Amino acid sequence: MKKMILGAATLVQLCALSAPAAGAETAEASPPPKSWSDSIKLSGSVEAGYTHSSKRPPDGINFGHLFTDRNNRLLLNQTLLTVERPIDSGSSAIDVGFKVQGMYGSDARYTHFLGELDRVTKRRTQFDVVEAFVQTHLPVLTAGGIDVKAGQFVTLEGAEVIPASSNFFYSHSYIFNFGIPFKHTGVLATVHASKSLDIYAGVTSGVNTTLGRGDNNGSPSLHGGVGLNLLGGALTIAATTSIGPEIPRGTPGVRPNHDLRYLNDMTVIWKVTPKLTSTTDFNYIRDDGFNASGGGIAQYLTYAVNDQVGVGIRGEVWRDSNAFFVAAFPGNMDFVNAEKGRPATVISGGKTTYGALTLGVNFKPTVPKPLGGILVRPEIRYDRSLNDTTPFAAGTRKHQLTLATDVVLTF
């Protein structure tokens, strides 16, 4: 079976999707910190969830899903612990910060930096470093200055992100799973060209890779794009890309250090009203080495009923023209092994155009301290092949209905 690596994971945090409704009480402003260390923050979250498919797939895999791929299994998706000191991008002086975020859970099977904690255990729940970087704000060149990030960081691309509490839905889109990177190692600069325009430019080791043996080939990649902030912040647009060789060394019939992979994404977030938010995610990817391409669109609408309840819908279409990008990985190590070019079981869905519709509700009940919050996200999702292939239920069905819910505790 063909070995594959997937550029799959982002600039836009879907803050509009998970933000409290207008009218929520605003916390009183805190006094300015007395020292640099006073602004260091410690936070964490725990997420667990369950997904049931009406088709009862014989292999136990919900095809088209990654992080919610195990049918009828309670998953500890992620336990996150974060230590950070955010920078002040509007400061007129140099400001230095950092972020370190670690994960333990089943999600880590798909988010590893190659060569980093990816062989510690072969269990379903694994360890991962999500981010580890230093960042500096430099008040130079433009009125807004430049922010420079160095280390390991999540991608600029896509409308969904790794931390569960920052997404509206429990399951992820095809774009997030198969159409964008998750993370990068390298240097990234953000030029605040004006109040409405940011320019991003960076050099990385590639998709989900580190340095040295943690890179599956020896070539760097480019990562960057532009961000627009319009209508007083009611409309934001992020057009981003990652371009570079991503094929593992030793793959026959291609040039791993020369053949390019292009992962392109544009996310548009429009705050239609204080309660209604529209998010549109456009995606196109191509791998020159395998002459494979894919892409599609995901449209989100979310409505904040009140401070405790939100409702949302996500509709998407994603085309895997060459049966290369969308796949399932039945073993706990198969995704990482495929990225590295090692033997792996990779189940393709064929040359398929995927359609999916997800309906979800967010419940945010009031909780006592020390908990920061609780988020419950039930959803119903319908996936279907739009061109009569049968990728679901172990290759026997054209469609799949899943019922799922998760609980996210933050502290």
- CATH number of the structural domain spanning residue 216: 2.40.160.10
For 256, 392, 402, the CA distances from 388, given in Å and listed in that order, are: 34, 11, 19
| pLDDT at 11 (0 to 100) | 34
Residues 333 and 298: their CA atoms lie apart, in Å, by 29
pLDDT along the chain (411 residues), means of 10: 38 37 44 76 97 94 97 98 95 96 98 95 97 97 96 98 98 98 98 97 96 87 98 97 94 90 98 98 97 98 97 98 97 96 96 98 90 94 97 96 98 92
Is the previous residue joined to 370 through a cis bond, with omega within 30 degrees of 0?
yes
- How many other CB atoms are there within 10 angstroms of residue 370's CB atom? 6
CB 17 within 8 A of CB 302: yes
- Does 3 map to a domain? no
CB 146 within 8 A of CB 129: no
Q: Write out the E strands in 144-291.
A: 146-154, 183-192, 197-204, 221-230, 235-244, 261-271, 276-287
- Does 46 map to a domain? no
Q: Torsion angle of alpha carbons 187, 159, 105, 246, nearest 10°?
A: -50
pLDDT digits (tens, 9 = 90+) for 100-152: 999 999 999 999 999 999 999 999 999 999 999 999 999 999 999 999 999 99
* pTM passes above 0.85: yes
| pLDDT at 101 (0 to 100) | 98
- Does 16 map to a domain? no
- If one counts the domains in the chain, the total is 1
- Does 120 map to a domain? yes
- Alpha carbon 136 to its chain centroid, in Å, reads 24
| pLDDT at 25 (0 to 100) | 40
- Does 187 map to a domain? yes
pLDDT digits (tens, 9 = 90+) for 172-211: 999 999 999 999 999 999 999 999 999 999 999 999 999 9
- Does 47 map to a domain? no
* Residue 156 one-letter amino acid: L
- 3-class DSSP state for residue 64? coil
- Does 29 map to a domain? no
| pLDDT at 34 (0 to 100) | 63
Residues 400 and 391: their CA atoms lie apart, in Å, by 9
- Does 123 map to a domain? yes
* Tokens coding 276: 């209604």
- Alpha carbon 162 to its chain centroid, in Å, reads 5
- Residue span of the structural domain in which 219 resides: 63-410
